[in-house]
């Protein structure tokens, strides 16, 4: 019996899982506002946990950065699936792109640290590209099939345009400007049902 118990992986306690999620959510907020130099103490305070709890889950700053980044990517992938059932195809695409602007804000706050992280950047880049391309491709294909969006754009093109819009804008209030540009961009992708004579 002891041998069987020894081989059984212990599940994390519910409060440990909650604390980890609180730290990740707080880190997203703190890093978005304060950039890569934002202190881990500020993250712990914002999460309402002790610094020891933070370090138990994330032993280094880089480990926390990467965990926040991966969580954001997974949430965008999950959102794409939800939007397929909750919104009209073109509207689903627009809402997903809006959510990406928030992701880029978090990423901008961590970009320097991610670049210096001890993790393989190529693996992290591949993880992101694969999930985000698959997510947007599903939304785009659905909108094209519904006749709402023109068919001559690829998922990769759409992501490139979104990244360009986000990274060309570094002034205060850039997110508001980019959200407006996203709306214009999606409107431009809509199929024209009639042309003026």
Q: How far is CA 73 from CA 69, 146, 184, 189, 192, in A?
A: 6, 26, 24, 24, 33
| Element containing residue 80 per DSSP (H, E) | helix 61-86
Q: What is the pTM of this model?
A: 0.78
pLDDT digits (tens, 9 = 90+) for 150-197: 999 999 999 999 988 888 777 778 889 999 999 999 999 997 654 444
Task: Give the span between the Cα atoms of 24 and 71, in whole angstroms.
Answer: 8
- Closest by CA position to 30, among listed 56, 48, 18: 48
pLDDT of res. 10? 59
Asked whether the domain spanning 63-197 has the same topology as the one spanning 1-59, the reply is no
Per-residue burial over 39-77, b = 16 or more CB atoms within 10 Å of its CB, e = otherwise: ebebbbebbebeeebbeebbeebbebbbbbbebbbeebb
Tell whether the model's pLDDT for residue 52 goes beyond 70.
yes
Instruction: Spell out the domain ranges in the chain.
Output: 1-59, 63-197
Q: What token pair was written down for 142?
A: 């659905």
Pairwise pLDDT comparison (38 vs 118), residue with the higher score: 38
Average pLDDT over the chain reads: 83
Grade residue 58 by pLDDT with cuts at 50, 70 and 90. Answer: very high
CATH number of 1-59: 1.10.10.60
pLDDT digits (tens, 9 = 90+) for 5-42: 444 455 667 888 898 999 999 988 888 776 666 788 99
Task: Give the span between the Cα atoms of 106 and 35, in whole angstroms.
Answer: 8
Q: What percent of the chain has pLDDT over 70?
A: 82
CB 28 within 8 A of CB 68: yes
For the chain, the residue count is: 197
Domain 63-197 in this protein, CATH class: mainly alpha
pLDDT digits (tens, 9 = 90+) for 120-138: 557 877 888 899 999 999 9
């Amino acid at each position: 019996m002891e041998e069987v118990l020894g081989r059984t992986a212990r599940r994390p306690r519910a409060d440990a899982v909650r604390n980890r999620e609180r730290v990740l959510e707080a880190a997203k907020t703190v890093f978005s506002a304060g950039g890569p130099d934002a202190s881990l103490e500020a993250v712990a305070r914002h999460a309402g946990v002790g610094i020891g709890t933070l370090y138990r889950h994330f032993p280094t700053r880089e480990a926390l950065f990467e965990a926040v980044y991966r969580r954001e990517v997974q949430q965008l992938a999950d959102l794409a699936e939800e939007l397929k059932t909750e919104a009209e195809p073109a509207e689903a695409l627009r809402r997903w792109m809006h959510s990406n602007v928030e992701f880029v804000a978090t990423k901008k706050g961590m970009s320097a640290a991610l670049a210096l992280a001890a993790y393989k950047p190529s693996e992290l880049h591949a993880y992101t590209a694969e999930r985000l391309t698959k997510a947007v491709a599903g939304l785009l294909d659905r909108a094209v099939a519904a006749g709402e969006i023109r068919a001559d754009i690829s998922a990769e093109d759409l992501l490139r345009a979104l990244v360009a819009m986000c990274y060309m804008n570094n002034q205060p209030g850039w997110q508001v400007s980019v959200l407006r540009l996203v709306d214009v961009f999606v409107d431009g992708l809509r199929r024209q049902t009639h042309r003026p004579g």
